[in-house]
Amino acid sequence: MSEFFKNIPKIKYEGPKSDNPLAFKFYNPDEVIGGKTMKEHLRFSVAYWHTLQGRGSDPFGLDGTAIRPWDNITDPMDLARAKVDAIFEFCEKLDVPFFCFHDRDIAPEADNLRETNRRLDEIVARIKDRMKDSNVKLLWGTTNAFGHRRFTHGAATSNNAAVFAYAAAQVKKAMEITKELGGQNYVFWGGREGYETLLNTDMKLELDNFARFLRMAVDYKKEIGFDGQLLIEPKPKEPTKHQYDFDAATVIGFLKMHGLDKDFKLNIEANHATLAGHTFQHDLRVARIHDMLGSIDANQGDLLLGWDTDQFPTNIYETTLAMMEVIKMGGFTKGGLNFDAKVRRGSFEPVDLFYGHIAGMDAFALGFKVAYKIVQDGIFDKFIEERYASFRTGIGKDIVEGKVGFKELEAYVLEHGEPEITSGRQEMLEAILNQYILGVR
């Protein structure tokens, strides 16, 4: 087996003061916090599509800038085989326990579904073989039902029933291979499930069809005995103007409306939350309070650009707030932190792939440590508890317990007069958060 990243050693933890760019400063995989190692808490994952498939192209530069160790391999199947070796080498050197893929990332699509599936089978067998002597596992599999021109009007929400069928056949196979590889989750990201203009769109039929599609997926999951978690990944726009899985709240409402909320959880991506006009923490919170936070696509967007830039997450403020939500839900079970992130077009050398992941892993490791201390100290929890104290006694308790209606509440106001309100102390709390982030508290 050839080595692709030849001059890159296994990345080790060297501590916050290390000046070695190829070392972890905050991510110490073996460090035990609260009874689990950091590796177990954070469950990092590499995205096949960005790291192995990304070419560093953009709409103004269709020719990619990326230089990759497999550039001299021209046959598409030879390339697919080589990339299997490359993903294991990459994850092992970074001590990342998981990876994720779309069906079309691991094996190129052929002229017909039969041959496409045969190619998949061959690559899956190779991955399975590599898994035998490696600790690297599959966090989730998914389907690329948005790249091919047949999906230009959507997949499960296409106007064309034959396209709906094609998407179903593709998900069927992708779910089978995810199971075969011991994948812990299966993700539905609505690639082009949305619309460009309502002038040509039957929104009701498209949404109903989408629910039908998800129901079929649940049925098939049971039929084949796949015990992974099904996840939906919200995104408000891009590639279509409007995507049906707009944000966490929309997806949860949709799932509940169709009686599917017990079968799915959410995969929340930071950059998608900000595209929807929310903070990352907002969408994580919405998912968490509904007990539907499954997994995370760890990246960050550029708020000045306003599109899906999929950058490596380096903002400690954001990673801290995100990890507070994860810790509050009791940690990941099947989910993890998947780096759905790509190095910039200008960062074209193979070593930049390592720098990107190291930066992201350190940012989340530090965020996790800070968040763990914040949750343990309970300082914000105590504040919130106190802030809502009025709902634990008297009239507030009666409201919560459903004992009163408008008439009783009017009588309460007539008797008690103007309420006394308290300060929200936002600036004070933000200053405390800064102390935690700076490690002085």
> Which residues here bind Ca ion, judged by CB under 5 A?
269, 297, 308, 310, 340
Residue 269 marked in a binding site: yes
Closest distance between ligand XLS and the C-beta of residue 106, in Å? 13
* Minimum distance of Ca ion from residue 187's CB (angstroms): 8
> Tokens 């965020």 belong to which residue?
367
What would the x/- binding string for ligand XLS be over residues 265 to 304, using CB under 6 A?
----x---------------------------x-------
Q: What is the Cα Rg of the chain in Å?
A: 24
102 part of the active site: yes
CB within 8 Å of 143: residues ≥ 6 apart: 102, 103, 167, 170, 171, 174
From Ca ion, ligand XLS, none, interface partner of 142 (C-beta below 5 to 8 A by class): ligand XLS
* Binding-site partner at residue 290 among ligand XLS, Ca ion, none, CB < 5 to 8 Å by type: none
Closest approach, Cβ 47 to Ca ion, in A, equals 8
CB 272 within 8 A of CB 282: no
Among 39, 83, 104, 235, contact with ligand XLS (rule: CB under 6 A): 235
Active-site residue, 258 included? no
Q: Which among Ca ion, ligand XLS, none contacts residue 99 (Cβ within 5 to 8 A by kind)?
A: none
145 contacts 102 by C-beta, under 8 angstroms: no
333 contacts 304 by C-beta, under 8 angstroms: no
Task: Say which of 95, 105, 247, 362 is annotated catalytic.
Answer: 105
Report 43-102 residues binding ligand XLS (CB under 6 A).
102
Q: Where are the alpha helices (DSSP H) in 142-199?
A: 161-180
Residue 80 amino acid letter: A
Query: How far is residue 424's CA from residue 6's CA, in Å, rounded to a whole number?
Result: 55
Q: Is 269 exposed, middle or buried (0-12, 13-18, 19+ CB in 10 A)?
A: buried
Binder of ligand XLS out of 13, 340, 371, 395 (CB under 6 A): 340
| Residue position matching structure tokens 């308290």 | 422
From the candidates 41, 102, 278, 290, which is the catalytic residue? 102
Count of beta carbons in the 10 Å neighbourhood of residue 90:
24
Binding region for ligand XLS (CB under 6 A): 102, 142, 187, 189, 233, 235, 269, 297, 308, 340
Q: Specify binding-site residues for Mg(2+).
A: 233, 269, 272, 297, 308, 310, 340
